[in-house]
Amino acid sequence: MRVLACLAALCIGSAVQAGCADAPDPCEVASGSYHIALPQTPRNAPVALFLHGAFSHGGNVMRNTALIRAFQDRGYAVLAPTALPRSPDAQGGVWNFYPGWPGRDEPAFLQDTLDDAATRFGVSPTRVLLTGFSAGAFMVSYLACDEPDSFPAYAPLAGAFWEPLPKTCKGPVKLHQTHGWRDQTVPIEGRPLRNGQWIQGDVFASLQIWRRANDCPNMSPDLFETKGDFMQRSWTDCARDSALEFALHPGGHMIPPGWVDLVVDWFEAQVP
């Protein structure tokens, strides 16, 4: 399987033909639009609701053929909604994830997207993994923190919280965090943006927030596994109906090879 490498704003790959399924243009809902790629059997198919990086759109997610086909091969439909631009001349959209930012109600938009796809294409409205890359992962993290019951499970990739970190998150939550050891766009330790106007948070500090939300009694994980390039740490002695796992890979700001199977295996163990 070739490397599923992505920059923060753009996933590169040969195109999967998927706008609104067979139609070239994206599907429209009241507050936005989304692209969808269906598996061979769409009826009741589980859903990977994948949020793109900053200044991108759902169509770019579909251009990452390896990513889309990896999900389809596991029987998943891929929904790729599009964030709104922050200004009239902006190229691509930015998710409205940061507390206090004005703009679209993103949880409502994502629910509308899922409801529309379930009605139009018959995909499952209940077996849903909300996942995203980079800025999409920021959106996943904040939504899981504020409204953990919105979706069954969450899988942020290369993104967590910004400073100041949330003091608390509602919980429990089922969450799989993946990050690259060499990530310099969203470093594990965080970094300032725009001369310190914004500060990306420390991923390990974010995990502490999730441990509190899940009532995990110990700071340290109780399960360690290595699967290929992924070094995994799991907290299993936590609140009922919770799950927390952190996977570290040796690469940078990218979707690493094998990530789809890793996160789908985890999701199916949590949401049968």
Please give the Cα distance from 118 to 113 (Å, whole number).
9
Instruction: Please determine, for residue 204, whether its predicted confidence score (pLDDT) is greater than 80.
Output: yes
Q: Is the pLDDT confidence value at 20 over 70?
A: yes
Task: Decide if 249 contacts 256 (C-beta within 8 A).
Answer: yes
Would you place residue 2 in the very low, low, confident or very high pLDDT band (cuts 50, 70, 90)?
Answer: very low
176 domain residue, yes or no: yes
Strands 191-193 and 174-180: unpaired
**What pLDDT sits at residue 8?**
36
Give yes or no for residue 219 having a pLDDT over 60: yes
Residue 23's pLDDT band (boundaries 50, 70, 90)? confident
Mean pLDDT of 34-59: 97
pLDDT at 1 over 90: no
Query: Which domain, by its residues, includes 151?
Result: 27-270
The answer to whether residue 226 is domain-embedded is yes
Total number of domains constituting the chain: 1
**pLDDT at 86 (0 to 100):** 79
Residue 16 falls within a domain, yes or no? Answer: no
List pLDDT tens digits, range 85-139. Answer: 977 777 789 999 999 899 999 999 999 999 999 999 999 999 999 999 999 999 9
Kindly state the average pLDDT of the residues 30-47. 97
The answer, yes or no, to whether residue 175 has pLDDT greater than 90, is yes
Task: Report the CATH number that the domain containing residue 264 is assigned in CATH.
Answer: 3.40.50.1820
Does 20 reside within a domain? no
Question: For 149-172, what is each residue's pLDDT tens digit?
Answer: 999 999 999 999 999 999 999 989
Whether 27 and 34 have beta carbons less than 8 Å apart is answered as: yes
Distance CA 25, CA 100 (A): 32
Domain presence at residue 21: no
Output the average pLDDT for the chain: 92
Q: Is residue 91 part of a domain?
A: yes
Q: What percentage of the chain carries pLDDT values higher than 90?
A: 86
Contacts of residue 270, Cβ cutoff 8 Å, sequence gap at least 6: 152, 153, 174, 243
Give the pLDDT band (50/70/90) at residue 18: low
pLDDT digits (tens, 9 = 90+) for 228-257: 999 999 999 999 999 999 999 999 999 999
Q: What is the pLDDT of residue 3?
A: 35
How do residues 71-89 score in pLDDT, each as one tens digit? 999 999 999 999 999 777 7
Report if residue 57 sits inside a domain.
yes
